[in-house]
Amino acid sequence: LLSPDELATAPGLQYAAERADANGDENLDEAELTAMISAWNEKSIGLLTLRCLVTLNRRPLPDATVRLEPEAFLDGQVETAIGRTDEFGYAFLTVPKENRPIPDAPPGCQLGLYRVVISKLVDDREKIPARYNVETELGQEVAFDDPGVMNGITYRLKK
């Protein structure tokens, strides 16, 4: 059983907690986690196209790296997806070709729970607050039935 305090250590799981908490007790139990992961597997979706917009202080953030790092409990079953923002702050997140479950699969992101890491280095110095990278508070569920994923995700960062 995971309490809200325990969920805070896994931003991806915390992001999905409300949708996964079937009995509404504000805790996640093994059955609820299993049901969430089973739903991903039942759809047999390999990779989803995932677009995000990153802003910093309400302005598009160009030339930033966005990484979706699988939560540790997914134990190597889900690969990291990476993207780089364009001049308008948009990025397409994808598993690098060499790490895709099927080598010839089209670009995309696997279903799963992720820690979101956003970084922008200028002259080898990080320009984004640590709460968005080394100490990230951001989490993301990539699921076929999450409207945010299907319509594009926005990460609004503040200095």
Identify the residue whose tokens are 């059955």: 31
98-103-107-112 Cα dihedral, nearest 10 degrees: -80
pLDDT-based confidence at 104, cuts 50/70/90? Answer: confident
Mean pLDDT of the chain: 87
Model confidence, pTM: 0.84
Res 58 pLDDT > 90:
yes
| % of the chain with per-residue pLDDT over 70 | 96
pLDDT-based confidence at 22, cuts 50/70/90? Answer: confident
